[in-house]
Amino acid sequence: MAFELPNDFRCPISLEIMSDPVIIQSGHTFDRVSIQRWIDSGNRTCPITKLPLSETPSLIPNHALRSLISNFAHVSPKESRPRTQQEHSQSQSQSLISTLVSRSSTYESRLESLTRLVRLTKRDSSIRRKITESGAVRAALDCVDSGNQVLQEKSLSLLLNLSLEDDNKVGLVADGVIRRIVAVLRIGSPDCKAIAATLLTSLAVVEVNKATIGSYPDAICALVSLLRHGNDRERKESATALYALCSFPDNRKRVVDCGSVPILVEAADSGLERAVEVLGLLVKCRGGREEMSKVSGFVEVLVNVLRNGSLRGIQYSLFILNCLCCCSRDIVDDVKREGVIEICFGLEDNESEKIRRNATNLVHTLLGYPMDS
């Protein structure tokens, strides 16, 4: 082929293009299969930084990078830039950056610069770093503030690409990107809202950013509102952002306090399994469990996921049901009436070790409570 895939798309362990990129607590991204093999071999350090990992390291899906890899795969060779043109790309990017930051640039020239920079930064890490070092982030943020829907969408896309660089994640937050994101989530176009939510997911890879975003006024409530009122894409991206944020324990109560639980249950009932994953994190806090126990039909929603959902949906549903059953006799009786014990027995041979373990735990919990007569 006449072009090379960006090195950022390759797993640092296998050096192959990643099919399921995940982020570990050091902030670096690996293909799930490779890093899981590394962990299963007994390693508890980051393969790159050598910093220690937790005993059971979390593998957070890098949805933003996965989307970029998927999109890039659909670009034809003639639209991709051959490696022999890298120097030309660098020169071209400098001209585009100059146009973007110039106060004398027209709307049309600024839009053209943003459009081409989005295309370049999607696959070139060096250009992403160059834009950040040039101070052009401020110009992109100004475009988000412009109120112009087209400029806003292109500038958000550029910021999303820039956020793929680990070193940029904290810097973008320090530059004030969260305020712009929250404003877009409130009053932006549907496409802009979806990109803004995806940008939050990318930024939330860094632990300190999880805390900063969670404590920012209206940030979480804006995501919950988008989950409730948005279209399919907006709801999926907002749920993904909430999942990333809720891996930070302090954010779980904030998400619950925004009235998210009934909205998440409704979303799960409509087929959005990522909502089940968020509920799987919220159930770890007392407020989350209390709110879930108040939602009529919640058990039926989870049982439906057990019968028809994906492996991840089944895994989280089992975990949620077990947590709730440990705290409520009434829920135990509801779960038994729904035939969950029989479902769990059917999962004993499932390919997923986590599903087998969660199913066993739930059966033990249920059998510890006799059914009320």
Q: Return per-residue pLDDT of the chain as tens, 373 residues.
A: 344 567 788 888 887 888 889 999 888 899 998 888 888 878 888 888 888 888 888 888 888 888 888 777 655 444 444 444 555 566 678 889 999 988 888 999 999 999 999 999 988 888 898 898 888 999 999 999 998 999 999 999 999 999 998 889 999 999 999 999 999 999 999 999 999 999 999 999 999 999 999 999 899 999 999 999 999 999 999 999 999 999 999 999 999 999 999 999 999 999 999 999 999 999 999 999 999 999 999 999 999 999 999 999 999 999 999 999 998 899 999 999 999 999 999 998 899 999 999 999 999 999 985 544 3
Domain boundaries, position 365: 296-372
Q: Chain-centre distance of CA 26, in angstroms?
A: 16
25 part of a folded domain: yes
In the listed set 61, 79, 100, which residue is the last one of a domain according to the structure?
A: 61
| CA–CA distance, 171 with 173 (Å, rounded to integer) | 5
Does residue 76 sit within a domain? no
CA distance 370 to 157: 55
pLDDT of residue 90: 66
- Say if 303 falls within a structural domain: yes
Residue 50 falls inside a structural domain: yes
Report CA Rg, the chain.
22
pLDDT at 74: 56
Residue 260's Cα: distance from chain center in Å? 17
Q: Return the pLDDT at 297.
A: 94
Token couple for 109: 């020239």
- Structural domain total, the chain: 2
Residue 323 lies in a domain: yes
- Interatomic CA distance for residues 165 and 143, integer angstroms: 21
Both tokens assigned to 353: 């070790």
364 falls within a domain: yes
- Confirm if 125 and 7 have CB atoms less than 8 A apart: yes
β strands within 68-142, DSSP E: none
- Joined together, the tokens standing for residue 226 give 């988008």
Question: What CATH number does residue 48 fall under?
Answer: 3.30.40.10
Question: Cα(97)–Cα(90) distance, rounded to whole angstroms?
Answer: 11
Strands (E), the chain: 21-23, 29-31, 60-61
Q: What phi, psi does 234 have (nearest 5°)? A: -60, -40
Residue 244 lies in a domain: no
